[in-house]
């Protein structure tokens, strides 16, 4: 299963087989320090997700699933009734961490299914723990393979010598490994295409400047950093051939919910006739919700008032901190998934893809 066709150089989240713990790189410390966090406690993993030590839609889904499996082993000395009460409580704690990324709910629903099947089949606690571990590892492996496959589809859309603009971090650090938007770049690069990347810094917490730049430099892919407000001018100057971003949720109508600032990039791309691609595994596609059901996360305004640990304005000034925005389907050229490239009309074609 793990015979990957490309090098896997960065793991964001993984399973420690010997300790049965979920481990992740603390992305808050990057690019200056590579700290690793391992835990068996759903509360600790939930905190890591809320505080964005682990972030990116697929990565938080994988981390939450592994956290449930890890906790199952930790409490496998309890009797059945106590065990199931505790494990369902753990799922709830993880469920209530971040509201927008679909992958979190998608992964936890899979874990819930295992729990409910196990209750019905009257499996003993040890058997349930093994089943939860198997499912969580499957979710993690599927994420890596989805990224590789969507990378292969997406690379066909990347011309040789292209300059790609990306936003936030949709790389290995936002997934189990490999990345979505950056997965496309990786495959194009491994296939010998001489691409260049323009990365937006991505205020307020600078995932572009801290994480995307770090990943691309590690890979050897040429990257140039810009501030978020340079996007329009850089596109107008003709410096961008295509845009590739990730997604936190794609609704059944084809609305793309992604890091705040994505919508402005899509508008600018449309105006400048630049293709705007979204790379996401099908675990990000939410056919059950329409755009009006989606909750856009609002985070602590201090993230806006500060850069890293320093206030850059008056500490008491009101600030808005929407974490995500909504890009309309008509601004999206295509959605790149592991099952193929989806073109408009998205409402019809997403349904077909997942049927
Ligand atoms: O708030 P974050 O850092 O979790 O937001 C992440 C993004 O918006 C990414 O672009 C998105 O999750 C796609 S990741 C493959």
The answer to whether residues 40 and 70 touch, using CB atoms and an 8 Å cutoff, is yes
Pocket test of ligand 1: the residue of 27, 97, 101 to mutate, having most ligand atoms within 8 Å of its CB, is 101
Domains in the chain, start-ordered, CATH in brackets? 13-148 (1.20.120.420), 157-354 (3.40.50.10470)
Pocket test of ligand 1: the residue of 259, 260, 325 to mutate, having most ligand atoms within 8 Å of its CB, is 259
Give the model confidence (pLDDT) of 196-211 as tens digits: 999 999 999 999 999 9
Q: Which residue has the tokens 């629903």?
A: 109
Q: Residue 2's pLDDT band (boundaries 50, 70, 90)?
A: confident
How many angstroms does the Cα of residue 11 sit away from the middle of ligand 1?
16
Is 248 one of the catalytic residues? yes
Catalytic member of 228, 248, 302, 325: 248
- Residue 280 CA: nearest ligand 1 atom is 15
Give the model confidence (pLDDT) of 330-345 as tens digits: 999 999 999 999 999 9
Q: Return d(Cα 199, Cα 222) in angstroms, integer.
A: 10
Average pLDDT of span 57-85: 97
The pTM for the full model equals 0.97
Give the model confidence (pLDDT) of 271-319 as tens digits: 999 999 999 999 999 999 899 999 999 999 999 999 999 999 999 999 9
């Amino acid at each position: 299963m793990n015979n990957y066709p490309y090098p896997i150089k960065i793991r964001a989240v993984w399973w420690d087989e010997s300790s049965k713990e979920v481990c992740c790189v603390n992305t808050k410390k990057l690019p200056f320090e590579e700290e690793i966090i391992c835990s068996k406690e759903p509360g600790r993993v939930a905190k890591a997700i809320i505080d964005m030590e682990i972030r990116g839609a697929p990565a938080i889904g994988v981390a939450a699933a592994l956290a449930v499996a890890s906790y199952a082993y930790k409490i496998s000395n309890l009797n059945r009734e106590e065990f199931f009460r505790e494990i369902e409580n753990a799922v709830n704690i993880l469920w209530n961490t971040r509201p927008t990324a679909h992958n979190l709910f998608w992964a936890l629903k899979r874990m819930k299914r295992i729990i409910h099947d196990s209750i019905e089949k009257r499996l003993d606690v040890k058997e349930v723990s093994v089943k939860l571990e198997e499912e969580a590892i499957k979710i993690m492996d599927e994420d890596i393979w989805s990224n590789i496959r969507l990378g292969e589809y997406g690379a066909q859309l990347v011309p040789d010598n292209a300059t790609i603009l990306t936003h936030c971090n949709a790389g290995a650090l936002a997934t189990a490994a490999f990345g979505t938007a950056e997965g496309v770049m990786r495959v194009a690069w491994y296939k010998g295409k001489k691409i260049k990347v323009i990365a937006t810094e991505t205020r307020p917490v600078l995932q572009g400047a801290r994480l995307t730049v770090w990943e691309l430099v590690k890979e050897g892919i040429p990257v140039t950093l810009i501030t978020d407000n340079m996007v329009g001018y850089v596109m107008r100057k003709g410096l961008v051939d295509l845009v590739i971003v990730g997604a936190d949720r794609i609704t059944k109508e084809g609305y793309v919910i992604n890091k705040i600032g994505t919508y402005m990039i899509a508008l600018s791309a449309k105006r400048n006739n630049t293709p705007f691609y979204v790379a996401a595994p099908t675990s990000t596609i939410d056919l059950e919700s329409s755009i009006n059901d989606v909750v856009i996360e609002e985070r602590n305004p201090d993230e806006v008032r500060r850069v890293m640990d320093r206030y850059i304005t008056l500490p008491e000034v009101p600030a808005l901190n929407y974490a995500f925005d909504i890009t309309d389907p008509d601004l999206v050229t295509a959605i790149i998934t592991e099952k193929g490239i989806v073109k408009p009309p998205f409402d019809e074609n997403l349904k077909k893809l997942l049927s």
